[in-house]
Structure 1
């Protein structure tokens, strides 16, 4: 069959077919992300690569061993991951298979929010100064490089410990990137706006500065008053109550309704302090 025999519908059908296959693969990856099946997939890829190289180099015995590992490995996968496969089939039957990835992401974001709220509440009550910037759409790699790299899981205990006075990492900002503590003791650009209240210190100016050049969400805890402030898009929210603080984090990090998020931000904005 020559290329001239293909119609436009045939091309479109092939394109849609390929896109659907990639979509299913993507969703499968999202489903197993964060589970022990990820390590298994890495092992399978290693075996496939070794088998291909052994065939190319003429290592027949090694190639035969890798082929046997792949042949019997799928049976072992079915036995080892029987609970996970059963759960996936149950979710498929309930129509929740493709929504699981979003559920996992929302659950992780909710865990991160709880850690931030708990740490912020602890530091606010004890008037421990803090500056936490959360990367959203605009990359913050340039600012991460100015600090001490951590690449750690976000926990309230870690955030609190970083900002304890007179510790090596307390002076500067913590930057959260992709649900990880990317770095601490980072330098953020100070806002040069003349409209910022004179009573606000360096942390607030840094929070305003980073919000003017990125779309990040930045949390400030005042060491003088213990007040919680938030900055985003060059706007400052001062003296945010803990329940409002959690709600704003959820709107920005979990909910995809940007209009609702924006309206929440606009109703109590105190621009420039």
Structure 2
């Protein structure tokens, strides 16, 4: 076969060079995918794949008018991609300039997960007991960059002490939401979209409406501490969990943030903590 004949005709050094070339291309593509992962560009890419599939179908079925429309969309698609993906392209170039494009940012360590949950639980417990209002949104797959840009950049380690200080009343950053990316506080005093659902209880204030609003347009986890009652609430995927005990809050947060398999870890952690304090 021509393909195998071309392989046998190459020198070992040239064959090795071609293999390295292919591996490098795949590595670069993989890293570029990780850059756009967690942003709205993922949903836009899915739309592009749908258009490509529709173009192939129209070509197979000889649908001339629809095929012409799909062809025009694809021909102008490159310019549209530059315009639509402008924030992601800018972020990728910034990371390349800082040498971070090819660095790993995956959060895998169980000890780090425990640290994040404990820091969040400690700060929420402190604020709930003293009725300090708080609004904390945790980024997951869908990026929150457009909301981060409305606040004050922080890029700080997530600690309970810093989280508490951010929401102390009458301080410059206490009004608005704190947004967490992975294991860092990305920004404070951010504006979140308010839910327009008519089914929200009238007794819920702006913080709860903002928490529901961001959960309706993204997959973020949002924590609310009521300033009036000190009650702890959590929103995710458009659902509002109200009046949670600290134990229930910690279990739900771990399960939604790190996956269902972490619920057993959370229960074991609470049992261990109870025995230790007992």
* TM-score normalised by the chain length of structure 1: 0.59
> Is 2:219 aligned against 1:212?
no
Summarize the Cα distance change of 1:123–1:234 in structure 2 as closer, same or farther, 3 Å threshold.
same
Distance 2:155 2:107 in 1: 24
Q: Is the 8 A contact 2:212 2:238 kept in 1?
A: yes
Distance 1:106 1:214 in 2: 26
Summarize the Cα distance change of 1:259–1:138 in structure 2 as closer, same or farther, 3 Å threshold.
farther
Q: Which of 237, 242, 252 is the aligned partner of 1:238?
A: 242
Q: Is the 8 A contact 1:109 1:253 kept in 2?
A: no
Unaligned ranges ≥5, structure 1: 27-45, 47-100, 261-273
Quote the residue 1:201 is aligned against. Answer: 205
Quote the residue 1:170 is aligned against. Answer: 174
Unaligned ranges ≥5, structure 2: 10-14, 32-98, 100-104, 265-278
Q: Is the 8 A contact 2:215 2:238 kept in 1?
A: yes
Distance 2:146 2:107 in 1: 31
Summarize the Cα distance change of 1:166–1:158 in structure 2 as closer, same or farther, 3 Å threshold.
same
- Report how far residue 256 of structure 1 moved: 5.9
Distance 2:174 2:123 in 1: 14
Q: Deviations over 1:170-213 (max 9, x none)?
A: 00000001210000000000000010000000000000000000
Quote the residue 1:221 is aligned against. Answer: 225
Summarize the Cα distance change of 1:204–1:153 in structure 2 as closer, same or farther, 3 Å threshold.
same
Q: Deviations over 1:2-27 (max 9, x none)?
A: 62438xxx99xx69x959xx7xxx9x
Summarize the Cα distance change of 1:201–1:109 in structure 2 as closer, same or farther, 3 Å threshold.
same
- Report how far residue 145 of structure 1 moved: 0.2
Summarize the Cα distance change of 1:225–1:116 in structure 2 as closer, same or farther, 3 Å threshold.
same
Deviates more, 1:155-164 or 1:241-250: 241-250
Q: Deviations over 1:122-174 (max 9, x none)?
A: 00000000000000000000000000000000000000000000000000000
- Report how far residue 105 of structure 1 moved: 2.6
> Is 2:113 aligned against 1:109?
yes
Q: Which of 106, 127, 132 is the aligned partner of 2:136?
A: 132
Quote the residue 1:41 is aligned against. Answer: none
> Is 2:150 aligned against 1:150?
no
Q: Give the ranges of 4+ consecutive aligned residues of structure 1 lying more than 6 Å apart after TM superposition.
A: none
Quote the residue 1:5 is aligned against. Answer: 8
- Report how far residue 242 of structure 1 moved: 0.6
The size of the alignment, in residue pairs, is 178
- Report how far residue 113 of structure 1 moved: 0.9
Distance 1:259 1:116 in 2: 16
Summarize the Cα distance change of 1:240–1:179 in structure 2 as closer, same or farther, 3 Å threshold.
same
Q: Which of 184, 191, 209 is the aligned partner of 1:180?
A: 184
Summarize the Cα distance change of 1:239–1:259 in structure 2 as closer, same or farther, 3 Å threshold.
closer
* TM-score normalised by the chain length of structure 2: 0.57
Q: Is the 8 A contact 1:217 1:231 kept in 2?
A: yes
